[in-house]
Structure 1
Amino acid sequence: MQLKQDFFEQLPEFYSQVFPLGISNPHWLAWSQDAADLINIDAPSEALLQGLSANAAVDGASYYAQVYSGHQFGGYSPQLGDGRSIILGEALGPQGAWDVALKGGGPTPYSRHGDGRAVMRSAVREFLVSEALHHLHVPTTRALAVIGSDLPVWRETQETAAITVRLAKSHIRFGHFEYFCHSERGAPDKLTQLLNFTIKQHYPELSCDAAGYKAWFTRVVANTAKMIAHWQAKGFAHGVMNTDNMSILGDSFDFGPFAFLDTFKEDFICNHSDPEGRYAFGQQPGIGLWNLQRLAQALSPIIPSDDLVAALNQYQVVLVQEYLTLMRAKFGLVVGDSTEAQDNLDLELMGGFTRLMERNQLDYTNTWRRFGSVDPNANTSALRDDFIDVNGFDTWYQAYQQRLGKVVDVAQWQAERNQVNPKYILRNYLAQEAIVAVEEGNLTPLHELQQVLKNPFNEQAEFAHLAKRPPDWGQGLIMSCSS
């Protein structure tokens, strides 16, 4: 693993150097070769295990924790920072450089009296969701590995520490710009320095001047909108959309009490610490814009307000168009030149279907997967039997067939639906079952689940039980932020 240190060398006031603390009896719990290929690692090794568990130095690593601030549940926190994540540097690979971070590597100056550790259950969940989202074609950070240990840590009860090795094209967050927007911290000079670095590293086709800044912020708005459109189409609830958890690249980032929808609920809350539903599933598009507005405020010392507003005005446009593209693929709808009238009709058709799903308490993923067995030319649909409100479904289905038109090759149409509507998602109860098995010393369920999630659109008949609706205890699990 070849490391470079652009952030460390060019932005010395944007982090604190801190060395991780090793964990006892380190051992591989999970490994993603797909992620390893991104940074030219052929296979896990004992030397790599010792280095990534912080029991030995990694060649070329600088070890630092970044400082930033952010809006958490709507309130501004003036200083946050990497409380349990320590970055080694940027690893070179065939597709560019990736930050390598040890999440759970011990305390940093930003731990706020915490121990800087991650517990095994949260480390496994972060690993699984990072890789699951990637294979669902959702923009995301990646996870190279989970390293377990016998080091005891205390949360509600005694647990064991683990480290998730995270890969990110960048760890720069909205909160970085919020931290340096205050005059006592050197704004606008520090803001300009950070912005120029971000553009040169991640948007090199843009210039570091007024025109480039406007184009850059427009790109950030668009990338964020596209990411959230993917969340809504895939039924993914992030759970903690604080501005310090928002990537400047529009990648899904910092996973805590996330969940994929089981039974469809627009107001589904996956975070035990969010009883008012600020970050409920259906609120995510609005929160994305709110977070971008906070970023715009932070950038106002160096980017004219007219440019910021113009970019923000594109958020809904991009979000809707990306969502329409994704959902039309799920429904099998074809559109030529998209018009506002056609878009509105399609949005109403889509909304009608999700409202039917909610009223009939249907499983989000499994209902979409059923489109792969639908004959769209038939007078009745195989989907009809899933609905209690058959009259409501029949009315919707007639409108859907009228919009769809005659399908010439039904088999091809069905196959295409199965290429965009996954059979397998990371259901919370499956993650929990894998975690319990790991606690008992059995890694097989975890590795099988990882393998299934690598191919979410394939039938994988031997694992069909992993596509079933959750049992009663696993339906709509709400998780805590504890890790």
Structure 2
Amino acid sequence: MFPFDNSYARLPEHFFRPVLPAPVAAPRLIRFNSELADELGLTLDAGDEDRLAAIFSGNSVPVGAMPLAMAYSGHQFGQFNPQLGDGRAILLGEVVDRQGRRRDIQLKGAGPTPFSRRGDGRAALGPVLREYIVSEAMYALGIPTTRALAAVATGEAVYRETPLPGAVFTRVAASHIRVGTFQYFASRDDQEGVRALADHVIARHYPELADAAKPYLALLQAVASRQAALIARWMAIGFIHGVMNTDNMTVSGETIDFGPCAFLDEYDPKKVFSWIDQRGRYAYANQPGIGQWNMARLAECLLPLLAETEDKAVEEANAVLVEFGRVFQERWLSAFRDKLGLVGEQDGDLELVNDLLAQMHDSEADFTVTFRALGQAVEEAGEGGFTALFTDRPRLSQWLARWRQRLGQDRDASAIRSAMEGVNPAVIPRNHRIEEAIQAGLSGDYGPFEALLAALERPYEERSEFAAYRIPPEREERVTRTFCGT
């Protein structure tokens, strides 16, 4: 049923705590991702909803699973907490999928663990629906991400400010190893633990580095490069993670933990949605800097492994952090060149992008709609929808003239537009649509949840049946605050 091969469970015993899911009263399947299950090599009957509900609620532990809670630390909004760990998540085990990739299967909300810190280890339905929607949307958008395998209602209430319906989410990841996992051992001066974890990460995620002259420095470089590229892709679709704590940054380079995340409606580089981010630490424009800061924390953990002397180790770590900035800027500008339909590299491209973003900000233009409409403006006859989004038309006209000159006169307009529509989505998981799906789900109606997932399956296509999902919210529909859900 599950071809488990649990490599993390074979690490030293202080890396985790064995724990079984706590049974729930009346599990009921909300959704099962049969396509992903097939990709993972799982042999499950998609029609046997009672059996699926039992497995993915934690009521029935599959043969071969070795359920455990992982130990980790983390900087949360800049403050270090040495003892975090999986407080409401249980790793069932690992499988090697049909493409030979090792994947974790984890239950979120399956009951208390030794790391729960007096919490109940449960999850409310709303955050489970949010994570299912956004993780699958990110996958469809082509962004490295954890995936959603199943969502199950528990038939029990969880108690936060008010009683809420409970649910369990099944997450699939390349691994759940975080920057905070390294911090757990480094903060305890457990250098052997750091080394064992680094060796495991190299073997699992970066096997090509095993024979490098300096494998641990190469590991730091590889993780930093993946994170820089990932954040550049977030920025290109207007994604705001919301809680870029070090325990929410994977070493595999996947997006993980979709708590108070959100997508830009109107473009604002200082935009914050998360209610707990009162000072804007994780605002849209701050994400690259925070990514670099998190990589500095990983570098601190690896310093004893990087070089024979501390001074040399610091020098090499600092070089990696500088390179993070260069890689991010290169990937960011490349992504926005693609969004503007530009081919090759020319002086002035950065200014062209930044000038457009500045005008979008001044006009409160919708991020997704603007870039999608720009493809139609390749030909002057189709620029009406684009120019209508801006308030300063003379200023925009000057920009359009510069942009068309940069595109070149000898390129095929339809080819340019097609290329632009391949990177500028028509549909994203709009915050108000997610909230609509959650509120309906809380009332027992999963129709809006299913409809939104269907609309997000092919986000770069303009399918007429999902035209309503391309429309930005009215001002009174805008979601201005999102919540972590823990």
Give the CA deviation at 1:301.
1.7
Please list, as runs of the form range in 1=range in 2, the aligned pairs for 1:20-419 lying within 5 A after superposition: 20-41=21-42, 43-44=45-46, 45=48, 46-95=50-99, 96-182=101-187, 185=188, 187-207=190-210, 211-304=214-307, 305=313, 306-335=315-344, 338=345, 342=346, 345-376=348-379, 382-419=385-422
1:244-303 CA-to-partner distances (Å, cap 9, x unmatched) read 000001110111100010111110001101111000011001000011011111111211
1:43-96 CA-to-partner distances (Å, cap 9, x unmatched) read 533323212211112111111000110111011111110010000110221121
> For 1:379 and 1:152, how far apart are their aligned partners in 2?
53
Higher mean alpha-carbon deviation, 202-211 vs 192-201, is at 202-211
Secondary structure in 2 aligned to 1:244? Answer: helix
The two structures have a TM-score, normalised by structure 1, of 0.95
Alpha carbons 2:22, 2:58 under 8 Å: kept: yes
Alpha carbons 1:141, 1:167 under 8 Å: kept: yes
Match among 474, 478, 485 for residue 475 of structure 1: 478
1:166-225 CA-to-partner distances (Å, cap 9, x unmatched) read 00011000001111113xx45211111111111111111112675121211111010000
> For 2:420 and 2:433, how far apart are their aligned partners in 1?
24
RMSD (CA atoms): 1.7
Give the CA deviation at 1:422.
0.5
> For 2:460 and 2:453, how far apart are their aligned partners in 1?
14
Q: Which residue matches 2:450?
A: 447
**Structure 1 residues 141 and 382 mapped into 2: Cα distance closer, same or farther (>3 Å)?**
same
> For 1:28 and 1:175, how far apart are their aligned partners in 2?
32
Higher mean alpha-carbon deviation, 239-248 vs 140-149, is at 140-149
Please list, as runs of the form range in 1=range in 2, the aligned pairs for 1:6-21 lying within 5 A after superposition: 6-21=7-22
**Structure 1 residues 61 and 405 mapped into 2: Cα distance closer, same or farther (>3 Å)?**
same
Give the CA deviation at 1:433.
0.8
**Structure 1 residues 163 and 63 mapped into 2: Cα distance closer, same or farther (>3 Å)?**
same
Higher mean alpha-carbon deviation, 456-465 vs 221-230, is at 456-465
**Structure 1 residues 248 and 93 mapped into 2: Cα distance closer, same or farther (>3 Å)?**
same
> For 1:358 and 1:276, how far apart are their aligned partners in 2?
20
Secondary structure in 2 aligned to 1:131? Answer: helix
Give the CA deviation at 1:380.
6.3
Alpha carbons 1:39, 1:97 under 8 Å: kept: no
> For 2:448 and 2:390, how far apart are their aligned partners in 1?
33
**Structure 1 residues 375 and 59 mapped into 2: Cα distance closer, same or farther (>3 Å)?**
same
Secondary structure in 1 aligned to 2:214? Answer: helix
Q: Which residue matches 2:310?
A: none
**Structure 1 residues 323 and 43 mapped into 2: Cα distance closer, same or farther (>3 Å)?**
farther
The two structures have a TM-score, normalised by structure 2, of 0.94
> For 2:480 and 2:149, how far apart are their aligned partners in 1?
26
Letter of the 1:108 counterpart: T
Higher mean alpha-carbon deviation, 392-401 vs 55-64, is at 392-401
Match among 447, 458, 461 for residue 464 of structure 2: 461
Percent sequence identity over aligned pairs: 38
> For 1:137 and 1:123, how far apart are their aligned partners in 2?
21
Q: How many residue pairs end up in the alignment?
A: 475
Alpha carbons 1:151, 1:161 under 8 Å: kept: yes
Alpha carbons 2:379, 2:413 under 8 Å: kept: yes
> For 2:65 and 2:59, how far apart are their aligned partners in 1?
13
Give the CA deviation at 1:24.
2.2
Secondary structure in 2 aligned to 1:2? Answer: coil
Give the CA deviation at 1:373.
1.7
